[in-house]
Amino acid sequence: MPSVLVIEGATILRHLFRCVLEPEGYEVREAADGEAGVEAYRQAPADVVLCDVFLPRLGGLGVIQELLRLDPAVKVVALSGGGLWPAGDDLENARRLGAVAALAKPFGIDALLAALRRTLGP
């Protein structure tokens, strides 16, 4: 069963991801901020990390950098609904830092599942 670490500040989105992913056969763990997400990965690496770009206590771009320091093979899917800049800029920066995929919020369930399948491979 592939494991997914969801690092997302919004409780409702973490719950939604869990409700969508568990029935699809994913083991889901959650973290509500960047520092907690890095610590959760340090304690038990996941097959893929879903990481919002805008997070409390350590932003998503910092999370990506820290995860890559811990594990150069980490697979991060960056998520962003935008903020001060268009979401595309945030997601492009995440890709430049090492995210293997990126999704602009709002996105559909099919897009999320397809991104996970592509990221995890066959």
Domain ranges of the chain: 3-120
Structure tokens at 79: 């998520």
Predicted local distance difference test score (pLDDT) of residue 82: 64
SS3 state of residue 73: coil
User: Please, what are the averages of pLDDT over each run of 10 residues along the chain (122 residues)?
Assistant: 97 97 98 98 98 94 97 97 63 94 93 96 78
**Topology of the domain covering 3-120:** Rossmann fold (3.40.50)
Predicted local distance difference test score (pLDDT) of residue 121: 85
Predicted local distance difference test score (pLDDT) of residue 83: 55
Give this prediction's pTM.
Answer: 0.94
Predicted local distance difference test score (pLDDT) of residue 26: 98
Predicted local distance difference test score (pLDDT) of residue 85: 53
The rounded distance, in Å, linking the Cα atoms of 45 and 41 is 5
Burial class (CB in 10 A: 0-12, 13-18, 19+), 24: middle
Predicted local distance difference test score (pLDDT) of residue 46: 98
